[in-house]
Amino acid sequence: MKILVTGGAGFIASHIADAYVKLGHEVAVLDDLSRGKRENVNPKCRFYQSDIRDRDAVNQIFLKEKPDVVNHHAAQMDVRRGVREPLFDAQVNVLGGINLIEAAVANGVKRFIYAGTAGAGYGEPHQMPVPEDYPINPITPYGISKHTVEHYLFTFRFLYGLGYVVVRYGNVYGPRQSSQGEAGVFAIFAEQLLAGIQPVIYGDGTKIRDYVYISDVVAANVAALDRGSNEIFNISSGVQTTDQEVLDLVNHLVGKSVEPKYVPRRPGEIDRICLDVSKAERLLGWKSQVSLAEGARCTVDYFKQAACGKEQSPARATR
Ligand SMILES: NC(=O)c1ccc[n+]([C@@H]2O[C@H](COP(=O)([O-])OP(=O)(O)OC[C@H]3O[C@@H](n4cnc5c(N)ncnc54)[C@H](O)[C@@H]3O)[C@@H](O)[C@H]2O)c1
């Protein structure tokens, strides 16, 4: 299959591109390198440094590549920046998304896989675990912009028959994650503890998140190549983990016991979330495989190596 992966120089989609290449697919990567790194791009992929908002450039890439599948992960994914600059957030996430969807329709793409967000989409849920049909109540511009693209996919399916799969992630973690952004708490704590910096916890450490390891996310994107047509899926472990538990785990793995600095919560942060992932089990045949303990060990190992200036090969580090 010919697959165009957007955001493939970033954390999640670079692993997905690796997996698609390994399965024998022909993969092209589109990324403007605003946050991603060129060295994350699999050498077997054709690489286009371009902005998803650039109509001409995107059309040229589609004309040249003629992809069967688009896997769209490029995004403005810094929640804080979205709060400060909602217009920019919408330009990249909404208009960039529409630009790709239009190009996909114009060039006969068969399937559009879209990375949505669960944590930033459902708002503060009153029911746990949260299923896909739970009302969407984003409390940040990022949550709005990420969710809006799902409406376009639904509508373009009706208008033009573009097939899609939405994978709404919990908090993804693993090698290559940047310590900036939506959900980088493993990366942040690992980098800080290894550098001898006191970590900061926003709140009292009891905030609950649902973490999913990168290889599980990759497996969902592989399943989405031929299953789950025109459906939305929560993709996460379904396990509730507090900020304090993450810090304790990372402390343990780096052989330290550093006390964090507790500071007030930031606006836009929900108290707790945990996802119902049974639909993905049923229709995608997907299930989270990696425990928090195992994923945390692989992640901290990666940051230890990075701190020594010797980045190990992450795809190989996962299982
Ligand atoms: N990390 C998480 O826990 C998480 C949770 C839910 C959803 N997501 C979604 O998954 C996707 C990937 O997230 P990630 O954690 O890998 O982030 P990331 O920042 O590592 O990757 C995003 C990539 O998109 C690229 N990009 C940004 N703006 C672009 C533009 N205008 N044109 C072209 N490329 C552009 C960046 O350079 C980067 O390489 C995003 O869509 C994000 O919203 C991530």
Antiparallel, parallel or unpaired: β 111-117 and 26-31 = unpaired
Q: Mean pLDDT, the chain, as a whole number?
A: 94
The average pLDDT across 153-157 equals 98
Q: Give the position, in ligand 1's atom list, of the atom nearest the Cα of 172.
A: 3
pLDDT tens-digit series, residues 114-144: 999 998 889 899 999 999 999 999 999 999 9
Could you tell me if the CB of 75 is within 6 A of ligand 1?
yes
Distance between Cα 255 and ligand 1 center (Å): 31
73 close to ligand 1 (CB < 6 Angstrom): yes
188 lines ligand 1 (CB under 6 A): no
* Alpha-carbon distances, residue 110 vs 27, 105, 226 (angstroms): 15, 8, 10
Q: State the pLDDT at residue 184.
A: 86
**Would you say the CB of residue 218 lies under 6 angstroms from ligand 1?**
no
Residue nearest to atom 42 of ligand 1 (CA): 77
Average pLDDT over residues 290-310: 91
Catalytic residues: 142
Q: How confident is the model at residue 57, as a pLDDT?
A: 98
**Residues in CB range of 99: below 8 A, 6 or more apart:** 52, 53, 54, 55, 58
Q: Is residue 32 within 6 Å of ligand 1 at its C-beta?
A: yes
Q: Atom 6 of ligand 1 has which residue's CA nearest to it?
A: 117
pLDDT of res. 178: 87
Please give the pLDDT value at position 180.
67
pLDDT at 317 over 90: no
**Distance from C-alpha of 193 to C-alpha of 176, rounded to nearest angstrom:** 17
216-234 pLDDT tens trace = 999 999 999 999 999 999 9
- Ligand 1, pocket-test mutation among 40, 77, 94, most atoms within 8 A of CB: 77
Instruction: Give the C-alpha distances (Å, rounded to integers) separating 198 from 148, 178, 195, 247, 301.
Output: 38, 18, 9, 11, 19
The owner of tokens 């060990």 is: 297
Q: How far is the CA of 13 from the centre of ligand 1 (A)?
A: 8
Structure confidence by residue, pLDDT tens digits, 5-54? 999 999 999 999 999 999 999 999 999 999 999 999 999 999 999 999 99
pTM of the model: 0.95
Mean pLDDT of 62-84: 96
Please state the atom number of ligand 1 nearest to the C-alpha of residue 74: 24
